Amino acid sequence: MSFALRSRLPFAATAIRRQAVFSSVRWRGYATGSGKDSPLNVDQQQSKTGQQPSYGPIGVNAALKYTENDPAPSPTIFKHEFSLADRVALVSGGNRGLGLEMGLALIEAGARAVYCVDLAKEPSDEWQAVQKYAQKLASTGKTGGDGRLEYITGNVTNQDEMWQIGKQIGDKEGRLDACVAAAGILKNHTDCLTYPAAQFRQVMDVNVNGVLFTAQAAGQQMDRFGNGGSIILIASMSGSITNKDHAWTSYNSSKSAVLQMGRSMACELGPRRIRVNTLSPGHIYTNMTAAYLDTQPHLLDKWASLNPMGRIGRPDELRGVVTWLASDASTFCTGSDIIVSGGHHSW
CA dihedral 292, 298, 299, 304 (to 10 degrees): 140
- Classify residue 148: in a domain, yes or no: yes
Q: Check pLDDT > 70 for residue 28.
A: no
Would you say residue 270 lies in a domain? yes
On whether residue 30 sits in a domain, the answer given is no
1 is a domain residue: no
Q: Which among 100, 108, 210 is positioned nearest to 165, based on CA atoms?
A: 210
Distance, CA of 16 to CA of 185 (rounded, Å): 63
Between 322 and 24, whose confidence is greater?
322
Q: For residue 320, what are the domain limits?
A: 86-346
pTM over 0.75: yes
Q: What is the pLDDT of residue 25?
A: 39
Q: Are 99 and 180 in contact (CB under 8 A)?
A: yes
| Whole-angstrom distance, CA of residue 133 vs CA of residue 151 | 15
> So what's the pLDDT on residue 36?
59
Nearest to 217 by CA among 99, 115, 323: 115
- Total domain count for the chain? 1
CB neighbours (10 Å) of residue 198?
7
For 37-64, write each residue's pLDDT tens digit. 656 565 666 667 877 788 878 999 899 9
Sheet harboring 274-281: ordered strands across? 148-153, 113-118, 88-92, 178-181, 229-234, 274-281, 337-340
Dist. CA 251–CA 253, nearest whole Å: 5
- Asked whether residue 34 is assigned to any structural domain, the reply reads no
pLDDT of residue 127: 98
Quick check: is 260 in a domain? yes
Segment 271-283 shows an average pLDDT of: 97
Active site residues: 251, 255
70 falls within a domain: no
What CATH number should be reported for the domain holding residue 184? 3.40.50.720
